[in-house]
Structure 1
């Protein structure tokens, strides 16, 4: 082997090692929004249930109005520390929102110096006090909501991130700073495009989005149409920024209420599984935080009461059981685009963790009879985790692999509930 070949081989090995380190350091984030940082009615025991479900990050509010109830009298309430301590003990990465106004400032946004200066003082105090217990900070929440198409509003927001980010980094160098928390209306109104054009990525580590589609109408409110929209956005944002833009979906869900824009709790669980797996197919999407952990009430026809994974008494909804079943595959497996299929309402997504290979497969519309292929399955039973019966976990199905040498195939009926099919022997 000549020196040039050795050099190329060494460079390739180094590249692989770097890629491996990056992949290991940045697993996909399976997150959830909580309201227990400020709401005593939502016990911290719910964080244990989040951890049991395989959730790796929790997101909540450090309200400016709570930290500064009267001018220049700043505090950290005990409940915030209890939330952070509980999350840290469970190895949950925390995301804290720095936002909302104060009554003595008329609840105005910090756009002018007389409001921005006290806001930045609150940011400084809060991030110093909370320290390294926080891994992600969001600068405000849904700033765009009052004017999704307002260019001045987006410009003022970029200016706020420019001022707030250095303060956060000084007090917590390890934390990622996320900008935006942009609503669907803001995304459509060009708010993110204007943020990127304004250079927000000079100050922030990524863009956070709230790309809800549950009220988009029958043809546009499914996970599959949702991910097509996000892929278009990803291409657009990359073009605008001149580089891939890290995207954090810090709120996303379908509510299971009775009424306009609602779906059943059963379909909510199917949509959750499909959305999380589809999010894994877009490399720039770094994580998704389901909104939210606990239903906010018990009124069946109230949308805001029915987004959660848990009922208000902490009993699990079907969506919780599904997320618990699929979270190891979301976190620990890598998407294999070259062996995946997304066409004709059939989805076969390949994933691997280096030892085990799986196919996540479903069909939209009517059920479909399909075949899956694998190598060296030895005519054994097909092992499947069917999210329609997620509580059963991975089991031997009645179907068997039919093998010709090392090449094996098996029939499978696909429905709207993803099936996780093991493609590697053993494990």
Structure 2
């Protein structure tokens, strides 16, 4: 079979020589949508050789296949006229393609500009996603990082897409230095109110990071300490910022995370971090006793089993000054089932089964003085889709590993919430890891991961793990929820297709792939079903 993890990415597919440059107008509104909706793709056309020519736009639609590769087959062609540029516009004109997608899933749209002779003079490649319909609520333990504080995204559309993708929570920042630019004068930037209130209006629960130092307003207090509030005065100033934040967003924001990766952003050891936590916690609770205060900010610098930082916080007396702690157990480029070997850690390997089980037991062994158990939150985990010399890599790998992480998180229940890092790419360099963690590109083009997660949200919902039908080094098959309302999820752990025989109640089932495309399968009176599974999960649900 064609290997599912390697195919030519969009930016490497050659186009004809061009004399017109095509760009999409408001791509956030048209590239991703629910199934069954018609799209109006508006294209700006700029001629590089003189007055913009007319002609025709042609859109060639190709689907993605079961294994994540792009099909060579064109399943639909769309056309639209292009008027020559007016005297006022000179080198610029535009056109609109009306596009409909035949089934749910991911597609490539190859847009070509042809002049009046039929010669191609420009082109643009993008992807389109048709998200399968969901009948129930989004999974309440799924979140995604958004970075509105970094200037990313558009409102409300970006959050509408987050919701459409299947998430119930978002994680973002309102930086101290943005709120208090002049000592003692608190002015909240428009982006903060916008993303927080829009999230709540859409039913998304915001997790707000309280960070970082503020050398802009207080240069003396943060000189030479890596931006972390490490002395009494700096802590008092930070707590004042916290009070302003909680007062302003009380009733809207219910979850607050104290700092982000303190080992990286502030070089703060647990010994330095814990005194700040001890002051922040009572300040938040005095204003909003029902708020959840999350410590550790991811547990250090990212990666690893995640328990070391919280152990240090407890060692320095921080147990009762938190409701939860967070980890960032990155394991890229390794798969979530196997991960990598840990050194100097309480577990032998860093992978989802081991880390989740370890942290659940850690929480159970360390109740607060009031006997409440600390919640565990994964506030960042992700796999980039950048190109690398060391495969496996790429967009399909990202989709498989992220989707399986969400399934495994239910299989090993430990986390209150799991946040994917992140929703939108940070840049456009295909070789830069940090640019490529998103589920969508900077131009809002959907990746396979967005479609795969959205499909899982619809079939899984909030169903708990019930049992494992197969669980070994090659194949995972798990049941979530009780049949006939439940779902069977199956996938291969390695990078090759596997065949597995399942014992299931006789009847008709629907087999859905990672794009939500369904086909009926019948389990006969023997109760045996042989199926092929790949690294991208497939789902079996009893047909009513």
Shorter chain as normaliser: what TM range? 0.7 to 0.9
CA distance 1:260–1:199, shift in 2 (3 Å): farther
CA distance 1:173–1:255, shift in 2 (3 Å): same
Unaligned segments of structure 2, at least 5 residues: 1-137, 342-348
Q: What residue in structure 2 maps to residue 209 of structure 1?
A: 327
Give distance in 1, aligned partners of 2:379 and 2:460: 16
Q: Does 1:227 align with 2:352?
A: yes
Q: Does 1:396 align with 2:519?
A: yes
Unaligned segments of structure 1, at least 5 residues: 1-25
Q: What residue in structure 1 maps to residue 510 of structure 2?
A: 383
Give distance in 2, aligned partners of 1:333 and 1:134: 26
CA distance 1:147–1:39, shift in 2 (3 Å): closer
Deviation digits for residues 257-277 of structure 1 (CA, Å, limit 9, x no counterpart):
113677210111011111110
Give TM-score scaled by structure 1 length. 0.82
Aligned to 2:430, the other structure's residue is in SS state coil
Give distance in 1, aligned partners of 2:395 and 2:139: 29
Give distance in 1, aligned partners of 2:154 and 2:227: 28
| From 485, 491, 494, the counterpart of 1:362 | 491
Q: What residue in structure 1 maps to residue 243 of structure 2?
A: 124
Is the contact between residue 280 and residue 330 of structure 1 (CA under 8 Å) also seen in structure 2? Answer: no
| From 63, 73, 77, the counterpart of 2:185 | 73
Q: What residue in structure 2 maps to residue 301 of structure 1?
A: 431
Q: Does 1:341 align with 2:470?
A: yes
Deviation digits for residues 336-373 of structure 1 (CA, Å, limit 9, x no counterpart):
14x44322321111101676121111122232211222
Q: What residue in structure 2 maps to residue 154 of structure 1?
A: 270
Higher Cα Rg, which structure: 2
| From 406, 414, 421, the counterpart of 1:284 | 414
CA distance 1:385–1:59, shift in 2 (3 Å): same
Give distance in 2, aligned partners of 1:45 and 1:231: 33
Where do residues 7-406 of structure 1 align in structure 2 (5 Å cutoff)? 28-39=140-151, 42-103=154-215, 104=219, 105-106=222-223, 108-145=227-264, 153-180=269-296, 181-182=298-299, 183-184=301-302, 187=305, 190-214=308-332, 220=339, 226-231=351-356, 233-234=358-359, 237-238=362-363, 241=366, 245-259=374-388, 263-337=393-467, 339-352=468-481, 356-365=485-494, 366-377=496-507, 380=508, 382-387=509-514, 390-392=515-517, 395-397=518-520, 399-404=521-526
Give distance in 1, aligned partners of 2:414 and 2:307: 21
CA distance 1:196–1:284, shift in 2 (3 Å): farther
Q: Between Structure 1 and Structure 2, how many residues are aligned? A: 385
Is the contact between residue 254 and residue 268 of structure 1 (CA under 8 Å) also seen in structure 2? Answer: yes
Is the contact between residue 145 and residue 380 of structure 2 (CA under 8 Å) also seen in structure 1? Answer: yes
CA distance 1:340–1:195, shift in 2 (3 Å): farther
Give distance in 1, aligned partners of 2:497 and 2:488: 17
Give distance in 2, aligned partners of 1:420 and 1:259: 30
Give TM-score scaled by structure 2 length. 0.65
Cα displacement (A) at 1:39: 0.8
